[in-house]
Amino acid sequence: MFSKLSVRNIPEHIFRALESFAVQHDRSTEGEARQAIRAWVEPALIEQTRSTRRKELADRLNRMLKQINMSRRPQLLVSQIAEQIGEEHGESVENWFLGEEEPSFKQLTALAGLLGVDPDWLKHGDKKLYPVEYYRLPENPFAAVDWLQSWTPPERGAGDQTLETLHLVRNDNSTGNLYIVKESAAGHYVVYTTPIHVSEEIGTGGESSLAALFVTLQLLYSRYTSTSKLVVLGYQMRPDDVSQLISGNTNPGSLLGDSARSCWWEDIWDSKMVGQHEYWPGWRALCARIEGVIAHRRYLNDIRIHIGKGILVEPNDIAE
């Protein structure tokens, strides 16, 4: 559907010039008028679109920087970002954050890689700010510990980095969902949701997963305390904070504070420590229940026996 427009009181010399242009371009006077209006309006529309895109991008850039600086001391400066992604001057990068210039996709990809955010979110506003993935921890403790002690693959977009801190998060509710957060030496995070429930509200399948988890955590403890520089921290996190953690829209570092810190992961497999704590209602009953399951699993028991002897146990040492 086309709109109609009647224009009156056009100055005579303008109208004559319009007729002359129409003859030159082999168009009717009305067609030339339409072309003149389009030539005047379309550049303004394009600039308006560009301005909107720059503003939306600037909003994402500033939101990203604010999120990162919530858990960072000292604060990261825009000039430092410019230097670290290889820009010659800081002013152009500052203009990105002001919405006055638009960076290239290549520059945005470099920026996302530097700060550990999703490049598609930064470039287009889709997906999530921070990567959140689903992962089923292997029930083979050796495979599980190998994964827990490694950083994510390079194709995740955060580069080939070193895992510095492993955060083991239990939702502080009746179901006790387990979440795993990996933090690299560069301060990047990847959040993993798992199907594991560390609570009494489990069935037979849940018992099997928890039995494997108990031995996995014991094996992880024996390795990281003896040979690894990896830091492993446990948390009991409020459900509303967990919701933010797995939303992918909040910097995980801002949620992994001391107030939620807990040693549950170090004590849950240790019979000497179980009776000294009550981390949540049903703690001791759960530990006793899972210990009974482990007692009937020769493979898991053999791993424990080797660990108990102070042996740095390896997969080939245990027969499945």
Q: Are residues 191 and 255 in the same domain?
A: yes
Q: Are 173 and 85 found together in one domain? A: no
Q: What is the mean pLDDT of the chain?
A: 86
6: in domain: no
Residues 6+ apart with CB under 8 A from 167: 180, 181, 182, 183, 233, 234, 235, 252, 256
Q: What is the pLDDT of residue 22?
A: 80
Whether residue 119 is found in the same domain as residue 160: no
Give the residue among 191, 159, 150, 153 at the shortest CA–CA distance from 84. Answer: 159
More confident residue, 217 or 115: 217
Radius of gyration of the chain (CA): 30
Is residue 138 domain-shared with residue 248, that is, in the same domain? yes
State which of 75, 101, 129 marks the end of a domain.
Answer: 129
Which CATH number covers residue 77? 1.10.260.40
**How many domains, the chain?**
2
| 191 contacts 239 by C-beta, under 8 angstroms | no
Judgement on whether residues 118 and 161 belong to the same structural domain of the protein: no
Q: Are residues 137 and 249 in the same domain?
A: yes
12-16, 122-126, 128-132, 246-250: lowest mean pLDDT where? 12-16
Which of the pair, 186 or 320, is modelled with greater confidence?
186
The arithmetic mean of pLDDT across residues 34-60, rounded, is 73
Q: Is residue 4 part of a domain?
A: no
Same domain, 154 and 192: yes
- Tell me the pTM: 0.79
- Same domain, residue pair 207 and 295: yes
**Residue that finishes a domain, picked among 64, 98, 129:** 129
The answer to whether residue 5 sits within a structural domain is: no
pLDDT tens figures, 81-128: 999 999 998 899 999 999 888 899 999 999 998 888 889 999 998 888
Pairing outcome for strands 177-184 and 189-197? antiparallel
Instruction: Please say which residue of 86, 112, 129 terminates a domain.
Output: 129
- What domain range is 156 assigned to? 132-317
Confirm whether 1 is domain-assigned. no
Does residue 2 lie in a domain region?
no
Angstrom distance (rounded) from CA 57 to CA 13: 45
Per-residue pLDDT, 30:
79
Assess whether pLDDT exceeds 50 at residue 154: no
